[in-house]
A and B are shown apart, each in its own frame.
Chain A
Amino acid sequence: MLMQAAQAGDARAYALLLKKIIPRVRAMIKRQRQFLPAADIEDLAQDVLISLHAVRATYDPVRPFMPWLVAITRNRLVDGARRYARQKAHEVNVDEYPVTFSEEGTNTDGDLYGDPDALKQAIQALPSGQREAVQMLKLREMSLKEAAVASGVSIGALKVSVHRAMGALRKALSKE
Chain B
Amino acid sequence: MDTERLAEILTEDARPVRPLPQPWVRSASWLAIAFVSILVVVYAMSPRADLAVKVTEARFLIEQFGALATGIAAGVAAFATTIPGYSRKIFLLPAIPLALWLGALGQGCISALIQYGPSGLSLQPDWICLPAIVLVGAIPAVAMAIMLRRGAPLFPHVSTALGGLAAAGLGNFGLRFFHPQDASLMVLVWQFGSVFILAALAGVMGRYVLNWRSVIKASPGSAAVE
Contacts and interface: CB of A to CB of B under 8 A. Distances in A.
19 contacts: A6-B14, A8-B16, A15-B7, A19-B7, A22-B7, A51-B216, A51-B222, A53-B10, A53-B221, A55-B215, A57-B19, A59-B19, A60-B20, A67-B85, A68-B84, A68-B85, A71-B86, A143-B225, A155-B220
A55 B94 CA distance: 26
Interface string B101-122: 0000000000000000000000
B93 interface: no
A54 B20 contact: no
A14 B225 contact: no
Interface in A68-122: 68-72, 75-76, 79
Interface of A: 6-11, 14-15, 18-19, 22, 26, 42, 45-46, 49-51, 53-61, 63-64, 67-72, 75-76, 79, 143-145, 148, 155
A7 B19 contact: yes
A168 to B, nearest CB: 24
A75 B2 CA distance: 22
Interface string B209-226: 000100110111111111
A79 B212 CA distance: 9
Interface of B: 1-4, 6-20, 22, 82-86, 150-152, 154, 212, 215-216, 218-226
Contacts of B19: 7, 57-61
Contacts, number: 120
Given A60-B19, A143-B224, 6 more contacts: A7-B18, A15-B7, A51-B222, A56-B17, A71-B154, A143-B1
Contacts of B9: 143, 145
Contacts of B222: 50-51, 53-54
A11 B86 CA distance: 27
Interface-central residue, A11, A46, A69, by most chain B CB under 10 Å: A46
Contacts of B150: 57
A173 B129 CA distance: 60
B83 A58 contact: yes
